[in-house]
Structure 1
Amino acid sequence: MARRFGGQFSPGGKPDGPGPVGAPATTLPPPLRGRARTTILMALSALPVVTAFAQDGALSLAGSLLAGALLFGGAALTREGLKAEAAWQARRIARRPALPRKVFGAVVTGCGVALAAASGFEPSLAAIVYGIVASALHVVSFGLDPMSDKGMEGVDAFQTERVARTIEEAERHLAAMQDAVRRARDREAETRVARLSARAREMFRAVEDDPRDLTAARRYLGVYLMGARDATVKFADLYVATRDAEAKAAYFNLLDELERGMNAKRETLLVSDRTDLDVEIEVLRDRLKADGLPTGD
């Protein structure tokens, strides 16, 4: 989505300066892999629609229009599948997509090509072959959906499932916050929400590294993010109507408090992990000493 330009010399802009200590730099998300190809597929779906009105007969017209709709729908399914795959790859613990969107996109695209090649709704061997080839090329170009859950060795399936489910819910809260704050049309607010999201995802990674930390971090991943989502929705609705500076300042204070809390909780999780490591090292050293082996002490 396009973003308004802003900076030190823009209207309403503020001089550049150091931000809060420890604030991560705002980065743009990486471009979606394969997005350009799905855009081309969406553009190609207009061809059967353009040629539909040159067809003879109502059935040929309806067949061409339906072919264009199928091609566009196949491209849209594929793009959603690419987004789900990117989210799956970015996380260390993740469940496979419940709906194989890229596979369905290949099937729908093949049906659209077959219908476009047919004469109306009358199937022919050539049209069927074209559809099969189109589906095969779609799979070669975009690949298949992730077919397995991604977990961690040494972690039981129940813990992995709990972590994956909790982080999926937390990601939905972050996505809802980002969608809501865009309605406020305030670049600074969008930047602050993006910074909080980055901090939250750092906590996600810490929990994925050690699912035993889920219990300690669950309040931040659920209750607090849900409250932040609701506050963001109310702020956006109020600010777009009134441009209330006091409401904006109060909202930013809330984000600051959440960010500080997440930083503190993440540090606590890291200290706990370090303590666990030290305990494991000491236990191993005691065993080596008991066996009469040198430990270097």
Structure 2
Amino acid sequence: MATRFGGRFSPDMPDRDGRRAPSPPRLHRLASRPKWVTIAATPFLLGAFFQGPLDMVTDLAAFGVIAAAMWMTREGLAAEAAYDARRVARRPAIPRKLFGGVLTGLGLGLGAAEPGAALGAGAIGIAGLALHWLAFGADPMRDKGMEGVDDFQQSRAARMIEEGEAHLAQMQDTVAQLRDRQLQARVAMFAATVQDLFDRVRENPGDLSAARRYMGVYLVGARDATAKFAALYRRTEDPGTRAAYETFLDDLEKDFSARSDRLLEGDRSDLEIEIAVLRDRLAREGVRPRTDSETGPEPATPRAVTSQDARTLDDLLTPDRDPAKTRR
């Protein structure tokens, strides 16, 4: 029976500390469609060289516009996949799929353009725009999971996360130049741990102050240390240097993971406080009965006045008082 190969740096395999390698980026389910649309537009490119100068320029322009539209659409699908993968996300700043649809209609209209047939070319362009919308859908147009979040704080967090992701990208690019798959996988695991911290801050921008040092100073230090290690290891290939760098990544990764866990525990504590306050309010308003652990013994309920012999106001207001004794 065949046995699947797996090791420390194999995808979806735990390493020596029980951690898993980072999962590959999530692709949109329609990510392959733009390629086929571009291939379908190749007749414009191939047939352009068998026509007159004006028709050749028109067909080349049609193919170029459609290719650009599919590139824009592919970027829009990638942005939508990232939007769907996150619990808290802003809508894409640029509606790439919308622009891709407009360019698709323009390209088809150019390809169908003929003297005296402008109306027909325009109809084909509009049909191409509609078909693009049916094939790829619309861009996300609303923010997700950001109800009640301070826009200023959210903008600060997004800016810090963007800078941190740039530092991570520089680290990965530097290690990729060494052409060492194990080191590349190790840095990718560290990047995945840092992304967990980024996700915590995305979901709760109020945690930015507690994570600012990790997202700024520590990542800049890791980037600079990676550049120095790569320059030294490229010349010497010293195993001791490599082991020291991996130990450095291990320690830094533990710090980032611990910070993420502390932020999560803080969120859990805030949730428990909110639940306790809500329960207390409901109990005071009589919507929810208090439990024995929440309250002490119930106060004695005064006995209702049932005697028909009460004749004075004092008798009515003092139910424990015996009216017969009062008359005596």
Q: TM-score, normalised by structure 2?
A: 0.74
1:266 is aligned to 2:263: no
Identity fraction in percent = 48
Q: Which runs of 5+ in 2 are unaligned?
A: 294-328
Q: Do the aligned residues in 2 keep the contact of 1:77 with 1:102 (CA within 8 Å)?
A: yes
1:83 is aligned to 2:78: yes
Aligned equivalents of 1:282 and 1:7: distance in 2?
A: 47
Of the candidates 84, 94, 103, which is equivalent to residue 108 of structure 1? 103
Aligned equivalents of 1:233 and 1:133: distance in 2?
A: 52
Structure having greater relative contact order (Cα 8 Å, sep ≥ 6)? 1
Whose radius of gyration is greater, 1 or 2?
2
Aligned to 2:66: 71
Displacement after TM superposition at 1:193 (Å): 1.8
1:207 is aligned to 2:201: yes
Q: Do the aligned residues in 2 keep the contact of 1:46 with 1:68 (CA within 8 Å)?
A: yes
CA shift digits 1:33-89 (9 cap, x unpaired):
32210111222332211101111x211111111111111111111111111112222
Displacement after TM superposition at 1:210 (Å): 2.8
1:117 is aligned to 2:87: no
Aligned equivalents of 1:81 and 1:63: distance in 2?
A: 27
1:194 is aligned to 2:188: yes
Aligned to 2:93: 98
Displacement after TM superposition at 1:117 (Å): 1.5
CA shift digits 1:132-188 (9 cap, x unpaired):
111111111111222222343333332333333333333333344334433322111
Against the structure 1 CA distance between its residues 115 and 19, is the aligned structure 2 distance closer, same or farther, given a 3 Å change threshold? same
Displacement after TM superposition at 1:259 (Å): 0.5
Aligned to 1:62: 57
Aligned to 2:48: 52
Q: TM-score, normalised by structure 1?
A: 0.81
User: Matches of residues 178-193 of structure 1 in structure 2 within 5 Å?
Assistant: 178-193=172-187
Aligned to 1:41: 37
Letter in 2 for 1:101: R
Letter in 1 for 2:40: L
1:169 is aligned to 2:163: yes
Aligned equivalents of 1:173 and 1:276: distance in 2?
A: 31
Against the structure 1 CA distance between its residues 102 and 278, is the aligned structure 2 distance closer, same or farther, given a 3 Å change threshold? closer
Q: Do the aligned residues in 2 keep the contact of 1:45 with 1:69 (CA within 8 Å)?
A: no
Q: Do the aligned residues in 1 keep the contact of 2:58 with 2:110 (CA within 8 Å)?
A: yes
User: Matches of residues 280-295 of structure 1 in structure 2 within 5 Å?
Assistant: 280-281=274-275, 283=277, 293-295=289-291
Aligned to 1:3: none
Aligned to 2:15: 19
Aligned to 1:275: 269
Aligned equivalents of 2:259 and 2:162: distance in 1?
A: 20
Displacement after TM superposition at 1:240 (Å): 5.6
Against the structure 1 CA distance between its residues 89 and 237, is the aligned structure 2 distance closer, same or farther, given a 3 Å change threshold? farther
Aligned to 2:313: none
Aligned equivalents of 1:63 and 1:113: distance in 2?
A: 11
Other structure's SS at 2:26 match = coil
Aligned to 1:216: 210
Against the structure 1 CA distance between its residues 97 and 38, is the aligned structure 2 distance closer, same or farther, given a 3 Å change threshold? same
Q: Do the aligned residues in 1 keep the contact of 2:101 with 2:133 (CA within 8 Å)?
A: yes
Displacement after TM superposition at 1:104 (Å): 1.0
CA shift digits 1:203-259 (9 cap, x unpaired):
223223332211101222233223334444555566566645444333322321220
Other structure's SS at 1:35 match = coil
Identify the range of structure 1 (129-138 vs 165-174) with the bigger mean alpha-carbon deviation. Answer: 165-174
Displacement after TM superposition at 1:261 (Å): 0.8
Letter in 2 for 1:60: D
Q: Which has the higher helix share?
A: 1
Aligned equivalents of 2:85 and 2:199: distance in 1?
A: 10
RMSD: 3.1
Letter in 2 for 1:69: G
Q: Do the aligned residues in 2 keep the contact of 1:181 with 1:190 (CA within 8 Å)?
A: yes
Letter in 1 for 2:108: V
Q: Do the aligned residues in 2 keep the contact of 1:183 with 1:240 (CA within 8 Å)?
A: no
Identify the range of structure 1 (85-94 vs 158-167) with the bigger mean alpha-carbon deviation. Answer: 158-167
